[in-house]
């Protein structure tokens, strides 16, 4: 059969099926098809998730991202590394009786995805406790799940919806009201986080937290109250999200063994979506080394299925320099292994540098003391040759940071990388300064969730390059892609790739002109080879190339050719990390290593799984939501019909979207 016909062939189930039946049937099918069946140690290792002798993937459409050979049909893997890439007949010649050969049936293969900025360690500890609204097409379905989960959640646990959703994804194009939340969950505490701006609590949560008339507002936050001074259940970040995160932290935690289980299932969810590596940006309340016990245990047990490079995040305001002075004596960049590695400092270096990414509020100005505090920390890191990263949303903040970095670099030249995280409004001038200092920029799809609010505050023109990724690439600055999951944006990389390619929000708003969107290969490169730079591993991973880590994903559909809207629904059907099959679905389900059942048994993950990728939007009648739905606002009229046909928030206070500028939606 010629090369063209192999590359265009659809999956042949007769050739894949032999991987699943009994050993005798597998042998017969394998001999008939000319493929090597699963035999002996290699087949057993595949099922146990152990390291295999050799693995050959054939009859694929492989996007290698190796510029010397951009496309291939087959790949041979041994001892965790890619040893050969090329045509199927050549890979077969290199195979032997220790080789597990898997026919991919013409499916698209890509390098394993690498999230250059996420919070997997913290996210894993909480994953089994959280109800996911990612990909849910209607508020009606989201609220149905909320009610069901409230009914099954035992005291004293809460129902938590934390990140990954936007009201603009819903057919109804609106938030839930507090009345709806209280009706769905009258007795079980509920906490719903909405972007970086607010949280909705039901009456049961208010009672458990002890919030009352005399509870003071925390710095930078507001507890909304009714006319009698009682908390309504709406918490507002003005602009600091501390009120949201500190309230969430008061909920019960999972026991250690359940945290182990939760992290394993979260990594399996990453593998389902084609992720094989992440860079963990730390987080508030994530103390080193004690809050790394779970991830370290999994590493020591050989149970990591995602490579994790982690940064150390300063924990207490005023004590940041002390944190780093202690940590530089305890560890060093690169400490660990290829599966779990210390990566440097950040994303929080000093709390005074925070510029909160809450587009519902005006841009914050970091405190005047910021430069002095930041310079002391950066000088220490430069002296000890520690890479570092720093959270920076706005160009004005980035400008101040770079002035500090330039001053330190003049005294103690930077000998390793530094990273500006987010950079939604960075200017061309400051991109030049980042490049001159040897830095890179890690971008995430936060605008896919907050774009409507950014446009409402700053205008369509200002949103056209948020962030200016095309300009960064044109100026040859290292750029990596990621999610910043899980508290606001979704961990689903395909939502990010959709945003990079389409320039649209989850709600369909077109943010960017074509000049600031990316072709699919470039977007994929940011999610693979681009991200590898940010952990100092650009020569180890990010391409399907001899000598690099054998990290790759076989996709459910062809990313390179499917309609743009379908990108959001992609997932992996086979994922390989370090030459080990860590996930399989569909025709490859029998190759997926076993995983303990989700624990605890009341977990929403046990009931619904993680991010939805295959749910369809509901009927137009549900979209309209009937103006007589019982949630009327006396000021705005609750005009859902207007809401779902209007792509943007508007300033007219008598329209539905005016409600998003106040809090009446939550009454």
Q: Residues 229-283: pLDDT tens digits?
A: 999 999 999 988 899 999 999 999 999 999 999 999 999 999 999 999 999 999 9
Whether residue 589 is predicted with pLDDT greater than 90 in this model: the reply is yes
Whether residue 1 is predicted with pLDDT greater than 60 in this model: the reply is no
**Structural domain includes residue 385:** yes
Same domain, 499 and 634: no
- Mean model confidence pLDDT for the chain: 87
Whether residue 154 is predicted with pLDDT greater than 60 in this model: the reply is yes
Whether residue 162 is predicted with pLDDT greater than 50 in this model: the reply is yes
Whether residue 224 is predicted with pLDDT greater than 50 in this model: the reply is yes
Same domain, 538 and 630: no
Q: What is residue 235's predicted lDDT score, i.e. its pLDDT? A: 98
Same domain, 309 and 408: yes
The domain that holds 76 is classified in CATH as: 2.30.40.10
Mean pLDDT of 387-407: 98
Same domain, 502 and 649: no
Range of the domain at 39: 3-106
Task: Give 404-435 pLDDT, tens digit per residue.
Answer: 999 999 999 999 999 999 999 999 999 999 99
Same domain, 522 and 667: no
Q: How far apart are alpha carbons 288 and 282 in whole angstroms?
A: 9
Whether residue 70 is predicted with pLDDT greater than 50 in this model: the reply is yes
The domain that holds 390 is classified in CATH as: 3.20.20.140
**Structural domain includes residue 224:** no
22-26, 177-181, 439-443, range with the lowest pLDDT: 22-26
Distance between terminal CA atoms of the chain? 67
Contacts of 516 (CB under 8 A, 6+ apart): 464, 465, 468, 469, 470, 471, 503
Q: Identify whether the C-beta of residue 263 lies closer than 8 Å to the C-beta of residue 280.
A: no
Q: What is residue 52's predicted lDDT score, i.e. its pLDDT? A: 56
pTM for the full predicted model: 0.87
**Structural domain includes residue 487:** yes
**Structural domain includes residue 165:** no
The dihedral of CA 617, 622, 624, 627: what is its sign?
Answer: negative
Q: Reduce the DSSP state of residue 7 to 3 states and report it.
A: helix
Q: What is residue 50's predicted lDDT score, i.e. its pLDDT? A: 55
Where is the domain boundary, 41, 76, 106? 106
Where is the domain boundary, 63, 81, 106? 106
Same domain, 531 and 644: no
Strands 572-577 and 552-555: antiparallel
Q: What is residue 615's predicted lDDT score, i.e. its pLDDT? A: 61
Higher pLDDT: 107 or 651? It is 107
Q: What is residue 616's predicted lDDT score, i.e. its pLDDT? A: 55
**Structural domain includes residue 588:** no
* Preceding omega of 156 cis (within 30 degrees of 0): yes
Where is the domain boundary, 514, 542, 570? 542
Same domain, 397 and 527: yes
**Structural domain includes residue 308:** yes
**Structural domain includes residue 239:** no
Whether residue 636 is predicted with pLDDT greater than 50 in this model: the reply is no
Same domain, 628 and 530: no
Q: How far apart are alpha carbons 115 and 443 in whole angstroms?
A: 10
Q: What is residue 352's predicted lDDT score, i.e. its pLDDT? A: 96
Same domain, 456 and 324: yes
Same domain, 337 and 445: yes
Whether residue 626 is predicted with pLDDT greater than 80 in this model: the reply is no
User: How many structural domains compose the chain?
Assistant: 3
**Structural domain includes residue 570:** no
């Amino acid at each position: 059969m010629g090369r063209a016909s192999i590359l265009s062939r659809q999956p042949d189930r007769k050739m894949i099926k032999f991987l699943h039946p009994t050993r005798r049937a597998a042998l017969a099918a394998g001999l008939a098809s000319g493929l090597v069946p699963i035999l002996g140690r290699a087949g057993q290792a595949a099922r146990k998730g152990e390291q295999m002798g050799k693995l050959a993937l054939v009859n694929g459409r492989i996007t290698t991202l190796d510029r010397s050979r951009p496309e291939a049909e087959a790949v041979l893997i041994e001892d965790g590394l890619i040893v050969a890439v090329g045509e199927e007949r050549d890979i077969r010649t290199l195979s032997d009786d220790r080789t597990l050969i898997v026919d991919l049936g013409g499916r698209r293969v890509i390098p394993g995805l690498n999230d250059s900025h996420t919070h997997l360690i913290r996210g894993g500890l909480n994953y089994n406790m959280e109800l996911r609204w990612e990909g849910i097409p209607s508020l009606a379905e989201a609220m149905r799940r909320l009610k069901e989960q409230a009914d099954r959640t035992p005291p004293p646990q809460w129902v938590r919806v934390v990140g990954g959703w936007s009201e603009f994804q819903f057919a109804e194009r609106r938030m839930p009201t507090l009345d709806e939340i209280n009706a769905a969950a009258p007795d079980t505490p509920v906490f719903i986080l909405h972007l970086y701006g607010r949280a909705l609590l039901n009456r049961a949560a208010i009672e458990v937290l002890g919030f009352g008339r005399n509870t003071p507002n925390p710095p930078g936050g507001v507890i909304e109250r009714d006319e009698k001074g009682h908390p309504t259940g709406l918490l507002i970040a003005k602009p600091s999200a501390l009120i949201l995160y500190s309230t969430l932290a008061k909920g019960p935690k999972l026991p250690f063994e359940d945290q182990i289980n939760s992290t394993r299932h979260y990594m399996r969810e990453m593998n389902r979506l084609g992720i094989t590596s992440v860079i963990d940006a730390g987080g508030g309340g994530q103390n080193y080394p004690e809050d790394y016990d779970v991830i370290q245990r999994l590493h020591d047990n050989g149970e990591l299925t995602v490579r994790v490079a982690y940064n150390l995040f300063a924990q207490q305001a005023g004590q940041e320099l002390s944190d780093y002075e202690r940590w530089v004596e305890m560890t060093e960049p690169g400490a660990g292994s290829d599966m779990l590695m210390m990566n440097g400092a950040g994303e929080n270096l000093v709390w005074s540098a925070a510029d909160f990414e809450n587009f519902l509020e005006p841009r914050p100005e970091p405190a005047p003391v910021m430069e002095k505090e930041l310079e002391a920390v950066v000088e220490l890191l430069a002296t000890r040759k520690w890479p570092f990263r720093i959270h920076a949303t706005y160009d004005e903040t980035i400008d101040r940071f770079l002035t500090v970095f330039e001053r330190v670099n003049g005294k103690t030249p930077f000998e390793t990388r530094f990273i500006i995280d987010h950079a939604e409004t960075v200017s061309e001038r400051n991109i030049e300064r980042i490049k001159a200092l040897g830095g890179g920029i890690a971008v995430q799809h936060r605008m896919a969730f907050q774009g409507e609010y950014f446009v409402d505050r700053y205008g369509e023109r200002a949103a056209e390059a948020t962030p200016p990724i095309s300009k960064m690439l044109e100026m040859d600055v290292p750029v990596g892609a990621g999610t910043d999951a899980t508290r606001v944006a979704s961990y689903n990389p395909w939502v990010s790739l959709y945003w990079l390619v389409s320039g649209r929000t989850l709600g369909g708003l077109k943010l960017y002109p074509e000049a600031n969107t990316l072709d699919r290969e470039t977007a994929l490169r940011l999610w693979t080879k681009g991200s590898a730079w940010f952990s100092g591993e650009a020569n180890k991973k990010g391409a399907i190339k001899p000598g690099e880590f054998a990290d790759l994903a076989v996709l459910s559909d062809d990313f390179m050719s499917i309609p743009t809207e379908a990108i959001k629904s992609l997932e992996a059907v086979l994922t390989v990390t370090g030459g080990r099959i860590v996930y399989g679905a569909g025709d490859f389900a029998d190759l997926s290593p076993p995983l303990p059942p989700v624990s605890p048994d009341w977990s929403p993950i046990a009931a619904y799984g993680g991010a939805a990728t295959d749910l369809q939007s509901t009927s137009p009648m549900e979209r309209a939501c009937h103006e007589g739905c019982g949630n009327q606002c006396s000021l705005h009229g609750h005009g859902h019909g207007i809401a779902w046909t209007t792509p943007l928030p508007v300033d007219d206070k008598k329209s539905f979207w005016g409600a998003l500028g106040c809090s009446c939606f939550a009454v």
